[in-house]
Amino acid sequence: MTPRVGGVGTTTVAMLFRNAVELAERQIRNTVELAERQIRNTVELAERRTTDGTGD
């Protein structure tokens, strides 16, 4: 962005806000996907331990 006499316009502000929201949504999606993978891996590990007799 370059400075201009009238300052930053409403379209620029709107686009910056939109980009910030999209990035936040992407971050949330990635965090949820990671958590789901970790849960699946933990469940699979627990199931393997149960079936092979190494569990509690």
C-alpha 28: how far from chain center: 3
Domain assignment of residue 35, given as a range: 13-51
> CA 8, CA 2: separation in Å to the nearest integer?
9
55: which residues sit within 8 A by CB, 6+ positions away? 46, 49
Give a yes or no: residue 2 inside a domain. Answer: no
pLDDT for position 55: 56
The reported pTM is 0.65
pLDDT for position 17: 97
Give a yes or no: residue 4 inside a domain. Answer: no
Give a yes or no: residue 44 inside a domain. Answer: yes
3-class secondary-structure state, position 53: coil
Successive 10-residue mean pLDDT values, the chain, 56 residues: 74 95 98 97 94 70
Give a yes or no: residue 7 inside a domain. Answer: no
Say which amino acid occupies 50: T
pLDDT for position 28: 98
Domain tally, the chain: 1
pLDDT for position 30: 97
pLDDT for position 9: 86
Give a yes or no: residue 42 inside a domain. Answer: yes
Give a yes or no: residue 6 inside a domain. Answer: no
pLDDT for position 8: 81
